[in-house]
Amino acid sequence: MALISQKSFQFYSSSTPARRFILMTLSKRLSFISGQREPQNCSSVAMRKLCFRDKSQYVFCRKKHVQLRMQSLSVNETAYLCGDTESSTKSNNMWIDEQLFFKKLNSLCTSKEIFDFLSSLEVMSDTMASGALQRISEVEVDGSGLKNPEGVLENEVFRALCFQFEFESSKLSNTGLLNALQALIKLHIDPQSTLMASLLAECEERLGKGQLTTKNLCAFGESLLELEGPSCAMLEQIVNHMQAKDVAKWSPREIVMVYRMLQVTVREGEKYQGFLDRLNSVTLTIVSQLSPEFTSIILNSLVVLHQTRAVRLVTALCKHSVKHTPYFTDDELVNVLEAFLYFGHREQIFTEALETHIPKSIFTMHPQTVSKVMHYCCQKMILSKPIFDAAAEGFISDADRFTTDQIAGYIIPFGTLNYLPPSASSLFRKLEMVLHTRLSHFQPHTLLSLLHSCVLIQRYPVNFLPKIFSPYFLQQLQAQPPGLDRIATSQLTQLFLTVTLECPFYEGPKLLPKYQVKAFFMPHSSQDVHLLKRVKTGLLYLLKKRIYFASEVSTPYFYMVDIEIKLDEEGFVLPATQCEEVYRRIALCVDGQNRFCVNSHNLLGEEAIKQRHLQLLGYEVVQIPFFEIESLQNSRKMAEYLHKKIFPHTCRLSC
């Protein structure tokens, strides 16, 4: 980012003789004059041509003798740019000239063409001059900054324009002033220069006098955000002025700008909530008019401002975002996803839009954006095979340039949602290569969660477990927030149990008992109480007595069994409290919808590993999924179903 230093504009504050010489030189090119005819033989022609003599009449001009009849223009009046229908009543010659000017200006593609065009003009208003600066910024500034600094900043026409804007700022229209400020910010002019100080001071003075319209206030606020960021104290003054305006008359751009300012200025809870309520209500009426950029900005602001009461607006914006999904930039899509997560919103049509967009764009999207999409699917328990398959291909292709957090963001959802893509072998081979190369770069909790997600889908990171179970790594976990909390210790314990049960060849360090939990923390595996009650009622109908089964049974192996039934060697059902002569143990897993991916019969990873481990620990696991019993209307039908599931051949009771 190139900035013009104070030295580059040194002549602005130079001595009077030097300044007079520069003024006389610049007057041959481009200058401000009043609307009066100048005497031909006046020694101070050049000086007076560069000064505003009358605040109501001023133009840029390159020739000595030009007489204009301009409509009086005050600093409070907005001088609209070409194509603004609100200015159609300005039918004088100046307005026609502005239309032609901007039509020509917008057709030019280089700063040289623009400067040549400006040098050829007979007359130009301050609005036209500021528009020229804006056009220069559009063609000369890209993501890396100013493309041709010397060709722009050292051009004499550009320097003349800057000089005029600095020393005649009080005579500019609001639009000319603010457009010039915005353009110079985009051109990365040094904020500490006298030029920028003069423009900012003039804007602040007009703000204090209440001379700025809604459009002006928004333009000024946007400039301050670009120039000084959210710490700018003047933004709060602008917001206070905005509260007195009629929100219903604002354009979508003005509404969006106010949300952005509120986002960085609201620090005191309810101070602006009344204003926000008005703003939210009006925004709801224009949702259909919002562009992808505006939709993203408003959703982001609603998140930052904690607008959980604006349910209707959030819902409307989320639905509206569906049609914009292919057109969001990476940053805009991340904002939308964060809003969906924050407000707990989910739209099937939004998922479908992502499923269409992500596979086509996976190799051009930023890894952080794909990671956020995967995180969204993981949090919402959405197993989208098109998205996951595309993410796997993207990981295999580009994982070497990912950050460690992005790597975890790509992989963890596969384990959480218990899904192996078609390219699973290549995916985990690539992951192993990355881990061998960059293992020490991972934060302890990130690495633990990553390896834990692998064992959920039967991918065993045995080469890396010695590090995980080492005292040094455990100390690192403890030292890094949130420390060895219940989630971390549950993951450690399940990793250890996995290698014990599924990788008997593992001979590395063991996990000491002090780091093991008594029961696993499985946030998604909470019981469906209503479903469990229906199953218990059916069992009572089948087994006749409540003593023949137990519910919510803790095992010595860290898992809790939903319902346990004990059998003797001959297959008789034993009382649940009996501990002797138990030959078989049946574990009924009553799996409600919260143990499956959304709109799917695919078990979540934590429930799949639980059932796998219970089998390895000697239980006969019988799954009772919600979708098999939701249509059973009475206890008799439930009992018949349970009989076929648990005792397919016979059912005898020990009495």
Res 500: pLDDT: 93
pLDDT band at 385 (very low <50, low <70, confident <90, very high): very high
d(CA 30, CA 156): 9
Residue 437 shares a structural domain with residue 484: yes
Residue 271 shares a structural domain with residue 377: no
List the beta bridge partners of residue 31: 61
Q: Which residues span the domain enclosing 4?
A: 1-205
Q: What average pLDDT does the structure give for the chain?
A: 83
pLDDT band at 280 (very low <50, low <70, confident <90, very high): very high
Residue 365 shares a structural domain with residue 478: yes
Res 53: pLDDT: 28
d(CA 258, CA 301): 10
Tell me whether residue 73 is in a domain: yes
Tell me whether residue 613 is in a domain: yes
Residue 588 shares a structural domain with residue 497: no
Residue 391 shares a structural domain with residue 462: yes
| Domain final residue, candidates 302, 330, 345 | 345
Residue 90 shares a structural domain with residue 238: no
**Mean per-residue pLDDT, 243-249:** 91
Residue 554 shares a structural domain with residue 440: no
To which H or E segment does residue 623 belong? strand 620-625
List, in order, residues 6 or more apart from 340 with CB less than 8 Å away: 318, 346, 347, 350, 376, 380
Give how many domains the chain has, as a whole number: 4
Tell me whether residue 524 is in a domain: no
| Domain final residue, candidates 326, 345, 364 | 345
Contact 302, 313 (CB under 8 A): yes
Residue 359 shares a structural domain with residue 479: yes
34-62, pLDDT tens digit by residue? Answer: 223 333 333 222 222 323 323 333 344 33
3-class secondary-structure state, position 589: strand
In this structure, what CATH number is given to the domain that contains residue 640?
3.40.960.10
Residue 340 shares a structural domain with residue 350: no
Residue 168 shares a structural domain with residue 55: yes
Contact 83, 100 (CB under 8 A): no
311-324 vs 348-361: helix crossing angle, rounded to 10: 30
Tell me whether residue 523 is in a domain: no
Tell me whether residue 27 is in a domain: yes
List the beta bridge partners of residue 123: 61
| Domain final residue, candidates 317, 345, 373 | 345
Tell me whether residue 542 is in a domain: yes
Question: What does R_g of the chain's alpha carbons equal in angstroms?
Answer: 35
pLDDT band at 604 (very low <50, low <70, confident <90, very high): very high
Tell me whether residue 639 is in a domain: yes
Res 203: pLDDT: 94
Residue 390 shares a structural domain with residue 421: yes
Model's pTM, two decimal places? 0.80
Residue 139 shares a structural domain with residue 282: no
Tell me whether residue 110 is in a domain: yes
Task: Output phi, psi for 535, to 5 deg.
Answer: -65, -40
